[in-house]
Structure 1
Amino acid sequence: MITNFIENYARLIVSVPEDVTVTKKLIDETFAEITVEANSSDIGKLIGKNGNMINALKTMANGCKAKDGVSYKIQVIAK
């Protein structure tokens, strides 16, 4: 659920949406790592000015914690 949302959201923001891939890796039962890979020219757009865009994604992920009990870490990586 959260990975689909982040992928769709990221594709709306970037210039090259076909380069966006989102993967989710479960570390343990209560912690997961979400990795957003995008074109290197779009990394700044995903992070946003002063980190506002990535912080908004982290806020959404924290909202999902209340529903499924899993904490999320979000990383943005250039392809």
Structure 2
Amino acid sequence: MITEFIENYAKLIVSVPEDVNVTIESIDDTFAEITVEANSSDIGKLIGKNGNMINALKTMANGCKAKDGVSYKIQVVAK
């Protein structure tokens, strides 16, 4: 659920939406890492000015924590 949202949200922000790939890796029962891969020219757009865009995604992920009890770490990497 959260990965689909982040992927759709990221595709709306970037210039090359076909390069966006979101994966999730479960570390244990209470922690997971979400990796957002995007074109290197779009990394700045995903992070946003002063980190506002990535912070918005992190806030959304924290909202999901209340529902499923899993903490999420979001990492943005260039393809």
> TM-score by structure 2 length?
1.00
What is the DSSP-based 3-state SS (H/G/I as helix, E as strand, rest coil) of the residue aligned with 1:75? strand
Amino acid corresponding to residue 72 of structure 2 in structure 1: Y
Q: Normalization by structure 1: what TM-score?
A: 1.00
Question: What SS does the corresponding residue of 1:26 show, helix, strand or coil?
Answer: strand
- Give the corresponding residue for 1:54: 54
Q: How many residues align?
A: 79
Runs of 4+ aligned structure 1 residues displaced above 4 Å come to: none
Q: Which residue of 1 aligns with 2:20?
A: 20
- CA apart distance, 1:11: 0.1
Partner of 1:6: 6
1:66 paired residue number: 66
Cα deviation, residue 47, structure 1: 0.0
Structure 1: gaps (5+ residues): none
* In structure 2, distance between residues paired with 1:68 and 1:25: 15
> What's the secondary structure of 2:12's corresponding residue?
helix
Equivalent pairs: percent with the same residue? 90
Distance 2:62 2:34 in 1: 12
Please provide the CA RMSD for this pair: 0.1
* Superimposed CA distance per residue, residues 4-61 of structure 1 (whole angstroms, 9 cap, x where no aligned partner): 0000000000000000000000000000000000000000000000000000000000
Consecutive unaligned residues in structure 2, runs of 5 or more: none
